Amino acid sequence: MAGSVFLLLLAGTLLCGLLFHTVSQNEAGDRTRPRRPNFIIILADDIGWGDLGANQQAGQRSSQTPHLDLMAQQGMRLTDFHSPASTCSPSRAALLTGRHGLRNGVTHNFAVGSVGGLPLSETTLAEILHQGGYYTAMIGKWHLGHNGPYSPTNRGFDYYLGIPYSNDMGCTDLPGYDLPSCPPCYPGPQILHNSCYTKVALPLFENRTIVEQPLDLWSLTQRYTSTALNVIHTARERGQPFLLYVALAHMHVPLSPPSYAPHPSEGGVYAASLREMDGLVGAIKNASDASDKENTLIWFTGDNGPWEQKCQYAGSVGPFLGKWQTSRGGGSAKRTTWEGGHRVPTVSYWPGRVPANSTSSALLSGLDIFPTLLSLAGVNPPSDRRFDGIDATDVLLHGKETGNEFLFHPNSGAAGKYGDLQTIRLGRHKAFYITGAAEACGGSTGRQELHDPPMIFDLSGDKGEETPLDPTTEEYKEVNERVRRWREALLYDIATDQSVSTADYATDKSAAPCCDPRHTACRCHTLAAVA
């Protein structure tokens, strides 16, 4: 009996040893495999191409973005990068789906009382990466639907902290700087003041719960920063690849820089807000560097250009002034398809992978973020739909200038029908089928004008879009023919796409996010702690 027991114990010991050896070998093998990269997308709101210090020419105004300038010095500055649309919701929907608004259904902004959001038939970048084993978190402005299945945690994000739409779409107790200035959330009957939202206070969500209403704009940056650092630290502890999408409130009005001191040399409120935004970006970069910088791609960009009608509270478009339009009245930035409306400051940073101190003039778009990150993660996109972006891996990692051959800029609230593709970029040329109808600082809008044949500019020698090509020249005729073919091909592709979605833009007062409808402006009296 004793001999039998001994043999059983010996066999068990040998089996355990074999299993341990096998597991150790597997773990060693796993350690030799390339780790999947982490991704941090930082999306600024209403930021101008000229706001980035690294984009300014020597001798121009002093830089307010030292952290971003350092990131550009240590990474790559993308000088011909464009937002997918020139206003909030369509730009964000395109970034997260890799599809134009005419495909994903989001062609204009959702409202406080919107019932729907990004169509549920659409698949987001977060959903795909989550299914591929990534931890996914979002901080900041969502603006793709806040009710039920449309909220971020139902669209692929494991965690969310932020505002469901723009930070001017609700009252606060201490309003920030805006034009016109907006009143606080009054304790008594609400009075509609110009374009200000006064009936529902601005809410702060954590996951699906309102934790503060109205939120405190002046401490929001600190809250976002601490949450972002916590996400990076938590993901590091998990040993799991992560996607962190930070959709900033900066530089959208109302501006609320806590350190603002009204001194002319500091550049005013906007410059102070720009410095605050830059500090947040720097904190995220430093935390990433301390955690896993060799395996983390940070991609900073903007959702559209500056909101020109906000005057001193709007950013700089740099040399992209849209002079043809401004000389006739009207704006040439946000909501328009002039360069100032969609050419945005963009920096990519990944030590050891993205070449340091490099600049690329490849023609790229926020539509390209979706396919590029999936490619780097080794995850395939859904095969049941068509996409509009390209994989920009060779541009980011190998210094190639293989960007888009063409880009389409959708109508975004100025001239024309929402979402229509009536402005086309083809190489150095840009064609407009429609212009006008955007408000400038001072209130002028300029009349809407149709152009048939299109008005074409050569951006290589006319960044300010001042003088169109003469339609009688051979250059114009050749470009016009190519533009016509590309436009017809894309519109046919969309028309025959069986995966096209339709967004529900219906509104209802009951759909507005409200912490406690018994109180004025839905004010919360008991606040949950935010992690």
Helix (H, G, I), strand (E, B) or coil at 206: strand
Contact 115, 504 (CB under 8 A): yes
CA pair distance 523, 172, nearest whole angstrom: 10
Distance CA 141, CA 153 (A): 13
Alpha-carbon distance of 13 to 15, in angstroms, equals 5
Q: Which of 88, 171, 182, 514 is catalytic?
A: 88
Please give the single-letter amino acid code of residue 249. Answer: A
N- to C-terminal Cα separation, the chain: 61
Cα(513)–Cα(497) distance, integer angstroms: 34
Question: Which tokens belong to 413?
Answer: 């609230």
Integer Cα distance of 102 and 422 in angstroms: 12
Closest CA to 142 of 377, 333, 309, 303: 303
Compute CA distances 38 → 123, 245, 289, 296, 297, whole Å. 20, 11, 12, 5, 6
- Distance (Å) of CA 517 to CA 174, 190, 205, 216: 21, 14, 16, 19
CA distance 349 to 363: 18
Question: Are 169 and 147 a contacting pair, CB within 8 Å?
Answer: no
Which candidate in 67, 82, 100, 143 is catalytic?
143
Residue 88 designated active-site:
yes
CB 370 within 8 A of CB 385: no
Q: At what angle do helices 88-97 and 369-377 cross, to 10 degrees?
A: 30
Is 451 annotated in the active site? no
- Active site positions, annotated: 88, 143
